[in-house]
């Protein structure tokens, strides 16, 4: 299929480049003392948000393809929508439909999994045990476990990764206890062997992303497969012990643990003849553990002999690298992204971020596609993230990203560039207010310098975010107590155009319920092109 863009007759774009700045995790919340974005000193953002070329965008729920407007947005679906110009059904919704329709249980892969579990093997489920609906949903796991009971599968183990990030920071028992009670009932009534077998906090065990720290995956492998971690008689005991030993402990940083029987033996190591399903539907933090289970030529850590395990993902987490090779639910097909059109027009572009969000401005932006669309005219730059808790270095790599972007803007022949500042999200996830304020202020300062360069080059900048986070750092419970909030928010995100050459050639359009998917058409207009016919409406009218 040949992709072509039509030039606008009324507006040819600016002489200089167009820079898209994505402020990850910086939403527009209520102005109170729980809002780090509001509390931060942000003269640049204040000026942009008060300009006539400003609006608010929906970045959660149905606006980004999630099942309901109670669902928080995230960086993956946000960047999908930004790059695709349309809304596609996303992970949770796809999985829900596959389970509800029964299609997930009709595949040859599921039948192979069942065969192993009905033989001498055990069926293992590895994933984030919460209802955050960002990486996974415990409701989906329950339905699949119910199917296992219906099929008479006698041995099932869950390797529970604790959340504390997309849900309350110390809410692990809200999920662990009901699962263990459910399994106890199944075992008593059926004579089966269903257990939570191992686990740990998501930021400490198994769920690394973008090759930031393979030791996280190693700890998970040792717990899930080798049965090597601190031993407890139940997951409930593990969580309660960690809480008691360190009152400041939050779920996401909890250590690895293994559940053992009365003889001290692990109840659920993953061994030869077993099947294992990663029940996360979001890809970024599931890719590395999938590699550990499926790659024969694997060198990231010493995993020992690779067991004969049929491993599957809930979805395929990276289509271009075929990771994992086996998966239960087909991902959305996102074709004709904005950069496919721009590459077809030979528009030179770049994408830049630090490791934590590099995949978002490349893989997710390009519709879940790894690598370049056209390496002859695209440049991707990854700034390695620090391996440190983000509240201890809240500036992260924003300054390095800003400096490299300025270098490319001044020295490169680029027409379009996109960058992601990870600070508002990654520091917001720590729940530390002072650090989040510093993070937001750092982004503001970097944007100020970028806008100076855009002005000098007679270009344009678009400033937005993919979802909120730092805009709500704590909530107040019914007893009037502060509850630290580390999850994303349901707040809208800002959208502002910085155009020093602006003389009224266009104006903000009156778009009903604008969202992230409206940004792509807007970028095309600002570059001097007509919007693609089936893209969502541009945010400007000409």
Q: Is 7 annotated as a binding residue?
A: no
Q: Is 131 annotated as a binding residue?
A: no
The CA-atom distances, in angstroms, between 364 and each of 35, 191, 232, 344, 360 are 28, 45, 39, 19, 5
Q: Which of 461, 532, 534, 455 has the alpha carbon at shortest distance from 501?
A: 455
φ and ψ at residue 164, rounded to 5 degrees:
65, 20
The CA-atom distances, in angstroms, between 341 and each of 84, 225, 379, 461, 492 are 11, 45, 16, 20, 28
Q: Is 155 annotated as a binding residue?
A: no
Q: Is 166 annotated as a binding residue?
A: yes
The residues, ordered by sequence, that sit 6+ positions from 393 with a Cβ below 8 Å of its Cβ are: 386
Q: Is 452 annotated as a binding residue?
A: no
Q: Is 224 annotated as a binding residue?
A: no
Distance between CA atoms of residues 128 and 469, nearest Å: 20
Distance between CA atoms of residues 215 and 8, nearest Å: 52
The residues, ordered by sequence, that sit 6+ positions from 482 with a Cβ below 8 Å of its Cβ are: 474, 475, 476
Q: Is 165 annotated as a binding residue?
A: yes
Q: Which member of 75, 130, 349, 517 is catalytic?
A: 75
Strands 474-476 and 482-484, sheet pairing: antiparallel
Q: Is 285 annotated as a binding residue?
A: yes
φ and ψ at residue 521, rounded to 5 degrees:
-65, -35
Q: Which of 166, 165, 162 has the alpha carbon at shortest distance from 175?
A: 162
Q: Is 60 annotated as a binding residue?
A: no
Q: Is 410 annotated as a binding residue?
A: no
Q: Is 97 annotated as a binding residue?
A: no
Q: Is 429 annotated as a binding residue?
A: yes
Q: Is 360 annotated as a binding residue?
A: no
Q: Is 488 annotated as a binding residue?
A: yes
Four-CA torsion 248, 219, 288, 303, nearest 10 degrees: 180
Task: Take residue 396 and report the two structure tokens written for it.
Answer: 């992260």
Q: Is 124 annotated as a binding residue?
A: no
171 labelled catalytic? no
Q: Is 297 annotated as a binding residue?
A: no
Can you say which residues are annotated as belonging to the binding site for substrate? 135, 165-166, 202, 209, 282-285, 357
Known binding-site positions for Mn(2+): 24, 75, 425, 429, 466-467, 488
Which residues contribute to the annotated binding site? Answer: 24, 75, 135, 165-166, 202, 209, 282-285, 357, 425, 429, 466-467, 488
- Active site residues per annotation: 75
């Amino acid at each position: 299929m040949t992709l072509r863009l039509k030039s606008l007759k009324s507006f040819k774009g600016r002489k200089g480049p167009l820079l898209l700045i994505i402020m990850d995790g910086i939403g527009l919340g209520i102005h109170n003392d729980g809002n780090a974005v509001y509390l931060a000193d942000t003269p640049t953002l204040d000026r942009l948000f008060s300009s006539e070329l400003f609006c608010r965008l929906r970045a959660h729920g149905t606006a980004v393809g999630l099942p309901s407007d109670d669902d928080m947005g995230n960086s993956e679906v946000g960047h999908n929508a930004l790059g695709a110009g349309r809304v596609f059904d996303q992970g949770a919704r796809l999985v829900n439909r596959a389970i509800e329709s029964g299609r997930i249980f009709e595949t040859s892969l599921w039948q192979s999994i069942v065969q192993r579990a009905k033989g001498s093997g055990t069926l293992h489920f590895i994933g984030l045990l919460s209802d955050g609906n960002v990486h996974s949903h415990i409701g989906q796991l329950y339905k699949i476990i119910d199917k296992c009971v219906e099929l008479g599968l006698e041995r099932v183990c869950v390797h529970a990764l604790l959340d504390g990030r997309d849900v309350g920071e110390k809410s692990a028992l809200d999920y662990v206890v009901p699962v263990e009670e459910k399994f106890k009932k199944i075992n008593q009534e059926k004579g089966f062997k269903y257990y939570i077998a191992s686990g740990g906090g998501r930021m400490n065990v198994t769920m690394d992303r973008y090759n930031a720290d393979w030791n996280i995956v190693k700890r998970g492998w040792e717990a899930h497969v080798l049965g090597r971690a601190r031993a407890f008689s139940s997951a409930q005991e593990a969580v309660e012990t960690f809480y008691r030993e360190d009152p400041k402990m939050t779920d996401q940083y909890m250590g690895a643990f293994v559940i053992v029987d009365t003889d001290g033996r692990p109840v659920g190591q993953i061994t030869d003849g077993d099947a294992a399903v990663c029940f996360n539907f979001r890809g970024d933090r599931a890719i590395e553990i999938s590699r550990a289970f499926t790659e024969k030529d694997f060198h990231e850590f010493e995993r020992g002999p690779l067991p004969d395990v049929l491993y599957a993902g809930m979805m395929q987490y990276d289509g271009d690298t075929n990771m994992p090779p086996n998966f239960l639910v087909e991902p959305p097909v996102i074709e004709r992204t904005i950069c496919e059109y721009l590459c077809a027009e030979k528009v030179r572009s770049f994408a830049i971020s630090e490791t934590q969000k590099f995949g978002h401005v490349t893989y997710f932006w390009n519709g879940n596609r790894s690598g370049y669309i056209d390496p002859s005219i695209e440049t991707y730059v990854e700034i390695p993230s620090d391996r440190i808790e983000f509240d201890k270095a809240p500036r992260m790599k924003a300054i390095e990203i800003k400096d490299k972007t300025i270098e490319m803007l001044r020295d490169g022949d680029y027409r379009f560039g996109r960058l992601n500042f990870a600070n508002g999200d990654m520091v917001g996830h720590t729940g530390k207010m002072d650090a989040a304020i510093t993070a937001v202020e750092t982004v503001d300062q970097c944007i100020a310098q970028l806008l100076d360069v855009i002005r000098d080059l007679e270009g344009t900048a678009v400033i937005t975010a993919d979802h909120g986070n730092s805009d709500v750092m704590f909530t107040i419970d019914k007893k009037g107590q502060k509850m630290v909030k580390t999850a994303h928010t349901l707040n809208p995100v800002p959208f502002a155009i910085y155009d020093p050459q602006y003389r009224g050639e266009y104006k903000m359009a009156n778009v009903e319920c604008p969202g992230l998917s409206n940004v792509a058409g807007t970028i095309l207009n600002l570059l001097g092109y007509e919007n693609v016919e089936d893209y969502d409406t541009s945010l400007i009218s000409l």
